[in-house]
Amino acid sequence: MAIDKGQFTDVTAVAQALQPSYPVYCVRPDVLAANARRFISQFPGTVLYAVKCNPHPLVLGALYKGGIRHFDTASLGEIAQVSDAFDDAHTYFMHPVKARAVIKTAYRVYGVRHFVVDHRDELRKVLEEVGGPGNTIIVRVNTPPADDALYHLAAKFGAAPDDAVELMQEASAQGCAVGLAFHVGSQCRSPEAYFGALDLLGQVIIKAGVQPACIDVGGGFPAAYGDRPVPALDAYMEAIRRGLKQLKLSPTVEVFAEPGRALVAQGCSLLTQVQLRKGDRLYINDGIYGSLSEMNTVAIRLPARLIRLSGPVSETMGEFALNGPTCDSLDVLPGTFTLPDDVREGDWIEIDQVGAYSNALATRFNGFYPETFVQVFDAPPALVAAA
């Protein structure tokens, strides 16, 4: 169960007050709310936050404060969490494969009316459980993955274009409103991938002869990690607007996006403690089985800074390998971190930009589990360094 330790002016104040020997998530609600407002102001449609990216209540609350009212949910647990937290929230069941009992509960208990499918048997399942009229079936199309994305998501989900045509026609014949969706891949650094995917959706619409009720451009909007520069958000919006204009849609067609990482990556950092130094190897209290799995799976590089409460800190920097806390030899973060060369046991290291897929992916392996959260109101280190 997550532990809320309160609010602090900055991360140094967290270290002073808690003296934590355990990892601490430092949530920046002002940053999260500002990111939500910025995305909402630029996107030509409705913004659905992808809950799987970070479902912590502090994160959801900050995004809600920033104007998010619609949520991309992929499980009954996510639907229930959002619905129970916010009376005016709208949830959309965006997982292409769902259990029958879950479909029925989402519909009857939580009022879900949007369901994604990518196969005729899944469409049949939804129709048998909740009927057609009054529901919107969103057909996920398998579009070519972007060349420059961290995760290519087309291998597991998405109907081939010809199959998507049949699914649109069948759903429409059963009285459903029908939409189309795609996902170009996580951390996509190519705005043109969205334009290309929308062009393919246009071909599906023409072949199906069915006017869509909604178009969902999915997620994939990137965060600007230090080692992976990304185009400005404006470039993605321009490509999406061009793609939508080419479709010549009715003004009544809803347009959705499902950002996750772009909203939350900068909104949280992780305060870890050095528990042992062996030369240029530092042993800290979190790692790839906890908050930092993405550093291992897709080699994301995250900025870090040293926090020491007493005594001077060396101005000479060194390169250090960070080792996680578990009792195995795999829990080692790739690459090195640049830190003062006198870093020692008891120092803290703030690892920035861990708002996306950190606590959401953390395990309890070996008895270690990061579960302490605080709110802080300083600027994220990555933004300070870039200023």
The number of beta carbons lying within 10 Å of the beta carbon of residue 193 is 23
- Residue 352: the pLDDT is 96
- Residue 156: the pLDDT is 87
pLDDT in tens, the chain (387 residues): 677 789 999 999 999 999 999 999 999 999 999 999 999 999 999 999 999 999 999 999 999 999 999 999 999 999 999 999 999 999 999 999 999 999 999 999 999 999 999 999 999 999 999 999 999 999 999 988 766 767 676 778 999 999 999 999 999 999 999 999 999 988 999 999 999 999 999 999 999 999 999 999 999 999 988 767 899 999 999 999 999 999 999 999 999 999 999 999 999 999 999 999 999 999 999 999 999 999 888 878 899 999 999 999 999 999 999 999 999 999 999 999 999 999 999 999 999 999 999 999 999 999 999 999 999 999 998 776 655
- Residue 2: the pLDDT is 74
Same-domain pairing of 99 and 73: yes
The DSSP code for 141 is: B
Q: Which of 264, 299, 321 is the last residue of a domain?
A: 264
Q: If DSSP codes are grouped into helix, strand and coil, which group holds residue 264?
A: helix
CA–CA separation, 295 vs 365, rounded Å? 17
Same-domain pairing of 108 and 241: yes
Name the β-bridge partners of 26.
269, 374
Same-domain pairing of 110 and 188: yes
Q: Which of 244, 264, 284 is the last residue of a domain?
A: 264
The values of phi and psi at residue 307, to 5°, are -125, 120
The structure's pTM equals 0.96
pLDDT digits (tens, 9 = 90+) for 224-255: 887 678 999 999 999 999 999 999 999 999 99
Q: Tell me the pairing of strands 337-340 and 317-323.
A: antiparallel
The domain tally of the chain equals 2
The values of phi and psi at residue 280, to 5°, are -100, 20
CA–CA separation, 163 vs 344, rounded Å? 59
Average model confidence (pLDDT) for the chain?
95
78-71-375 Cα angle (round to 5)? 75
Same-domain pairing of 287 and 312: yes
Q: Residues with Cβ < 8 Å from 360, sequence gap 6 or more? A: 52, 53, 54, 55
Q: Which of 264, 299, 326 is the last residue of a domain?
A: 264
Same-domain pairing of 190 and 243: yes
User: What would you report as the CA-atom Rg of the chain, rounded to the nearest whole angstrom?
Assistant: 22
Q: If DSSP codes are grouped into helix, strand and coil, which group holds residue 51?
A: helix
Residue 343 · residue 321 · CB < 8 Å: no
The values of phi and psi at residue 34, to 5°, are -65, -40
CA–CA separation, 219 vs 204, rounded Å? 20
Same-domain pairing of 254 and 298: no
Q: Tell me the pairing of strands 304-307 and 348-351.
A: antiparallel
Same-domain pairing of 259 and 161: yes
CA–CA separation, 11 vs 200, rounded Å? 47
CA–CA separation, 138 vs 71, rounded Å? 15
Residue 314 · residue 306 · CB < 8 Å: no
CA–CA separation, 69 vs 92, rounded Å? 11
The DSSP code for 377 is: -
Residue type, 372: T
Helix count and strand count (H, E) for the chain: 12, 17
CA–CA separation, 215 vs 244, rounded Å? 9
H-type alpha helices, the chain: 11-18, 29-42, 57-65, 76-85, 100-108, 120-130, 161-173, 192-208, 233-247, 261-264, 293-297, 381-386
- Residue 5: the pLDDT is 81
Same-domain pairing of 254 and 228: yes
- Residue 384: the pLDDT is 66
The domain that contains 85 carries what CATH number?
Answer: 3.20.20.10
Q: Which domain holds residue 197?
A: 29-264
Closest by CA position to 223, among listed 298, 155, 168: 298
